[in-house]
Structure 1
Amino acid sequence: MTNPQVVLQEEESEGSWMLLSWLASCLMVFGGALPYVPQYQEIQRSSNTEGFSTRVCLVLLVANILRIFFWIGKQFELTLLLQSVVMIFTMFAMLHLCCTVQNSNPVSTKQHRLSDLDLRYFWKWNAFEDYLLFCCGFSVLCAMVSILLLGSAMFIEMLGSLAVMFEAMLGLPQLLQNLHNRSTKGMSVKMVLLWMAGDVFKTSYFVMNQSPSQFWVCGSVQILIDVAILLQVLFYSQDTRIKLG
């Protein structure tokens, strides 16, 4: 005879686990966008975009568009698909703000457009519409190739590897921007700290949920880049103090 108390405890334990699982999924979907809130606020406050590398947006847009097509071929957790959709909208919001701030700058500069086809100014366009057009064109290209090769398991795995390879390089543009500026001024340190917290969380999530190996490898590389950027913050702040002294 089954003990009613034991059954009740098992049901409560199962309910608690489901709640934790649901909360973890929500954090996965929206957590990736949270680091950009302090950076968005910093750009609004300072009306300056020089400290933030918009190529971070390029990397994440390409990575998440590729991940969506990877999901079509290999339907892993729906959570990761929703995360990609949220991240794409977040990157568009960041680009829209950067374009607005740059165009409101009183310093007169030449306008650069996608239609100029000038590789020197790739991803340095002044119009937000150009970024949308580029992403639409890239998505159409991916769709055409996917329709032709969707039956190939090798192509699907390659698509997944490309997606996570781009995502693993998320922090690299910011790292290079800091090196170029020889400063981390204008970059939100909170953003990088949230990057690291999110990367540690999602890498653990990938391992625990036995997601495709591409995902946890990507997360591990991202953590290393996050650490490098935080070391830049320490190095450049010390360098500034020495100069002032």
Structure 2
Amino acid sequence: MASFPAVLRSEWTKIRSVRSTVWTLALTFVVTVGIGALLSLLTNNNFSEFRRNGQVPFDATGTSFSGIMLGELAIIVFGVLAIGNEYSSGMIRASLAAVPQRATLLTGKTAVLGALALAVSLMTAFATFFVGQALLGPHSTTIGEPNVLRAVFGAALYLTMLCLFSAGVTTMLHNQTLALGVLVPFFFLLSPILSAVPKVRTLAHYFPDYAGSRMLLVYEQPGQPYGPWTGFFICLAWTAAALVGGALVLRKRDA
């Protein structure tokens, strides 16, 4: 029976030894910071044009996080690859032979993935905020303003939960290509389409991407169905459901 610290070391070695996982994490940081910086600079240079007919307070924090959608895609791919690489290569059979306690194995994977995703997401969120505010010039805000620090942490937690949700879905499907085929349309096609259809818009409000976007809010806008904390708990519920589903499938199905 493998000890839990040994499982953690093994999972850490697997992740850092695969280039694709390292590159997707780096891409999460680069695209989120880079696109946020570009749009913050454009907003500063064209502020009067962007704010024409603006009815709500200018959200400088939200502007700096304008690139988070591509960051979401990168960290979803990271979560899928971190789990799916073992299935595609057949290494999952060796992992299960070394750690026959499947719950222990999945717990170790989740712990390492979550810790790594959280560390990168925190670096990404704070770098994105500070770079964006530097480029917004006189229209910037500070980390000490009401709700700003909570929104920055919210961005980091949202990216982390997306990673774990993707890992759970991949564990259920046992196939990284299939997992990406489900997750990418779900987040980037199905949810936006449903949000635009009046009769089913309410359903889309409880999808994880919409709930996650609430976590980044500094100003609660009129007409929104719920605020940041409710968004956090909805995302947490989706993440927990995916991981529990993954655990059940891993327990009942052969590798």
TM range (shorter): 0.3 to 0.5
Decide which structure has the larger Cα Rg and report it: 1
Whose relative contact order is higher, 1 or 2, with alpha carbons under 8 Å and at least 6 apart? Answer: 1
Q: TM-score, normalised by structure 1?
A: 0.33
TM-score (normalised: structure 2) = 0.32
